[in-house]
Structure 1
Amino acid sequence: MFNVLWGTIKIQMKNSWARPMFRFTLIASPMLNTVLIYEMFRHSGQSDAASYIILGSGLMGLWSSICFSSIGDIARDRYMGVLPFLFTSPSNYNVLIVAKTIGNTLLASLTLVVSWLTAGLLFRLTLVVPHPIVFLGALVVTIIGFVAISIPISYLMLLSRKTGLYMNVLDIPVTLLCGFVFPLNVLPQWTQPISQALVPTWSTRLLHLALQPTIDWVALRTTMTWNAGLILLYGGLTVVFWHAIQLRVRRNATLEVSE
């Protein structure tokens, strides 16, 4: 299983990099988003504007890369006619989905580096990291959280041929609801429960807490607890979705023509 997992991660990263759309979301998109968000915060007077500019554009690129890669892989496998063979292969299809998602997320994490370099070269902005170990831990939790939310969504895409539509629908709303670019208190009150149910919301909050000069350890522990709880919840949903989808696919035999 480990050999299949590691081999799929490497192949997935190579295949993703070969796609022009992925390279755009990995390089060009965070650069453009950095310029856009900088203009938004230019005269805001907000003390932590640099963190929103750099982290915001990087997280936007990270989520877009996941939407157009991990979720889109189901559509590509279906259109190439290999989805039924992968689904019924001796290698567990769960391992393949997890490996593809991990590979895409690790590669897409470079958007944070691209946004940091863009902000530094164009606007002389820098991201001060007073607690590198805490920030690194928060970044690892963030990557795990993005993987956790991507896998159940990918499973749901097995049942539909409209993955292109759903990828575009998921991109911007999640960016807004998770507070990548601005604090969530500016959103309407009715959106708050939705935001709280999304693990990227808590991952974003965790990264901002890790950048504070003096860490609020109570808030950090609370945010970590929420991240861990939602990651476990998404893991449970993944198991439920997999068993339900597996039964339906094997019963109806409509994997290639599901609507």
Structure 2
Amino acid sequence: MTARALLASARVQLKGESRMSGVTAGIVQPAVFMTVTMLAANQAVAGTRIAIGCGLLGLWGAIVWKFGMVLRQERQQGILPGIVSRPTGLVLVLAGKSLGAVLRSSVLTVLTVGAVAAAAGRPVHIAAPVGFAITALATLVSAATLGLLLCSVFLLTRSAVRIAETLTYPVFILGGLLVPTSVLPDWAQWLSTLVSLRWAAELLLDAAAGRGQDPGDWTLLLATTACYAVLAAVALRAVMRRIRAEGTLELV
């Protein structure tokens, strides 16, 4: 029942989106990030490292905006109150629709970073494709789980868009996606351990290079993702209780 609800929600979201909906998040932003970073980086920096960092940047940007926009669209179309009141519940439907919304952007991001890297003469090399694919799937799940946690903000305040803008870049930095976490201040390095994308990036780089992945990195990726899932469930339940008690959805 859970898997069926997730797949059905994702399918509905994909069918309802325009073909151009993922262009900005999946093509424009990753291409700009890749180009600027390669121009600024030393030639010794591998294209694969830059591609992975820019790919994760594109994924996180899509997660923040797509997850939030799904809620806004449901509210504007008058669908959200009906979802809240049904037995399936908001969490499952929201997770499925949000993953559907991000899927197109994720595919476009992968194609874009690969094409830009190849065009720049610094192609992406994946030495362990199976391990890389498994890690990429775990990364998508982790980022989506953190996105669900942020979704509760979009239901509670009219300033959700501004908050999303504020949260986007700290994750870029703390996750070490382009700037190594070793150059951050001590307090920021401590905070970066709470960002699952940091551990995902390390695992993806290891798989791309054909190195053995550090079990500690997997433990931290799974642990942070599990924490996000628990917090998201608690936050969304609290939001639902508030909504039902007040009879309103505070969303522009």
Gaps of 5+ in 1: none
Task: Report how many residues are paired.
Answer: 250
Deviation track 1:147-201 (CA, whole Å, cap 9, x = no partner) reads 1111111123211122211221122221111111121111222211221111111
For normalisation by structure 2, the TM-score amounts to: 0.90
Cα contact 2:51–2:114 (8 A) shared by 1: yes
For normalisation by structure 1, the TM-score amounts to: 0.88
Distance apart, 1:80 and its partner CA:
3.2
1:62 to 59, 71, 77: 59
2:34 paired residue number: 34
Where 2:234 maps in the other structure, the secondary structure is: helix
1:246 paired residue number: 240
Cα contact 2:153–2:160 (8 A) shared by 1: no
Q: How many Å separate the matches in 2 of 1:90 and 1:225? A: 34
Structure 1 window deviating more from structure 2 (27-36 vs 83-92): it is 83-92
Structure 1 window deviating more from structure 2 (163-172 vs 10-19): it is 10-19
Distance apart, 1:90 and its partner CA:
4.2
Q: How many Å separate the matches in 2 of 1:240 and 1:140? A: 24
Distance apart, 1:214 and its partner CA:
3.4
Q: How many Å separate the matches in 1 of 2:139 and 2:251? A: 33
Gaps of 5+ in 2: none
Deviation track 1:35-54 (CA, whole Å, cap 9, x = no partner) reads 0110121x3634xx322321
Q: How many Å separate the matches in 1 of 2:170 and 2:24? A: 20
Superposition RMSD in Å: 2.0
Deviation track 1:60-118 (CA, whole Å, cap 9, x = no partner) reads 11111111111222222223333222211343211111102222333232212211111
2:178 paired residue number: 181
Identity percentage of aligned residues? 23
Where 2:124 maps in the other structure, the secondary structure is: coil
Where 1:76 maps in the other structure, the secondary structure is: helix
Q: State yes or no: 1:222 paired with 2:223.
A: no
Q: State yes or no: 1:169 paired with 2:166.
A: yes
Cα contact 1:72–1:163 (8 A) shared by 2: no
Which letter maps to 1:243? R
Which letter maps to 2:116? T
2:93 paired residue number: 96
